[in-house]
Amino acid sequence: MARRRFSPLDRVLGRIDDLDAQNLAILARRLERERDLMETVLDTLREGVIVLSHDGAIEYANASAVRLLGVNPDDVAGAELRRLSPDIAQALELPETVGALTRELEVRYPEPRLLTLHLARVGEQQGAERSRRVAVLSDVTKERVQTEDRVETERIDSIVSLAAGVAHEVGNPLNAIGIHLQLLQREAAKLGDSPAAEKVRKAAEVCQGEIKRLDGIVRDFLGAVRQTPPHLTDTDLVTVVAEATGLLREQMEQLGVRVSLDVPGELPLILGDRNQIKQALFNVMKNALEAMDRGGDIHVKLSSDDEWVVLSIRDTGVGIPADRLTRVFDAYYTTKASGGGIGMLILLRILRAHGGTVDIQSTPDVGTTVILRFPLKHRRVRTLEAPKS
């Protein structure tokens, strides 16, 4: 049994039957001061404290609890919790056989939040009608997001390190093959102009061309995964979009894909790394092209509000099923028959390094929309440290 702490008021209350009217008035004022003190103390807590009567009515809620409920303080006392917040009310249902519990719950109003709830029943010994439920609610949204971001950063770091190591190891045998091909060509040159010698020389030239191509792929890949911190300068997204589109224009024409651009009259500049943003847009548009067998549309729209410059890229491709949409940022995961599954991961890293966000909306057989948000210069923050490799 918990030890009960006694205050000077306990001794006075023990003799309440012997008090006259004047002393009762003094006692009432002291009780009022004690109540005000306790409410002040509870209002300083970051945690929300709610006391519910046996029928679910709110008997008390501190300032933090009122904020979590998203209601007017004057509307709390005596209100039914299930009318103010059905999610929290449902989580506060306490089985008769359980005296206390701790759980996590997610609420959507007044904004999406993740809460940790500790619930206890008090006053049972005084009868069911006088029993109370006391709930302590802690907002752990920020802590959870920070933890998830840290885990994601560490996961991406390990993937990038592994990918860079593999790419480096691929480069070594390519160099060795190139050296031996040069030796082969020298030996073929000693054979003169015979048909056999000419055949060997042509085969060696083809192999050397393919080695150069693979070497370029490895260099580009290493440059992508070994991302340097962005060099931030005033950047016009309209120009960057035009440059990224130009890199794929020939492929678009071959596939019969039409591109449209919707730009407002004036768009604010952002702080960004021009080359990294161009790479991010190239990855998105290339995915859009590969989602369309032949023909189709890519619609690029730019807009801005008080906080973000928003760039959306919508295609009319095959779309992504809902059960696969949550995995598009996983390394080496791809919905295509060919592809390394690294492009969207690189896109995510670039946007996070710029303090931006990426949203993807997709409907099978309708198309996919990728929404990139870049913070305005005056409010730029880093949502996640750029992974280091």
**CB of 54 within 8 A of CB of 123?**
no
**Rounded Cα gap, residues 52 and 35, in angstroms:** 18
Amino acid, single-letter form, for residue 104: E
Instruction: Locate the domains of the chain by residue range.
Output: 8-144, 147-225, 233-379
Which range has the worst mean pLDDT, 13-17, 63-67, 284-288?
13-17
Closest of 174, 251, 177, 284 to residue 218, by C-alpha: 174
Q: Do domains 8-144 and 233-379 have the same CATH topology?
A: no
Please report the pLDDT score of residue 330 as a whole number: 66
The larger pLDDT score, comparing residue 169 to residue 50, is at 50
Q: Assess if CATH 2.60.40 describes domain 147-225.
A: no
Confidence of residue 238 (pLDDT cuts 50, 70, 90): very high
Q: How far is CA 99 from CA 5, 117, 124, in A?
A: 22, 14, 10
Average confidence (pLDDT) over 125-133: 69
Beta strands 132-139; 113-122: pairing state: antiparallel
Q: What is the mean pLDDT of the chain?
A: 80
* Per-residue H/E/C for 206-262: HHHHHHHHHHHHHHHHHHHHCCCCCCCEEECHHHHHHHHHHHCHHHHHHHCEEEEEE
Q: Assess if CATH 3.40.50.150 describes domain 8-144.
A: no
Total-model pTM: 0.49
Regarding the domain delimited by 233-379, which CATH topology (the fold level of the hierarchy) does it fall under?
Answer: Heat Shock Protein 90 (3.30.565)
Phi, psi (degrees; rounded to nearest 5) at 263: -125, 135
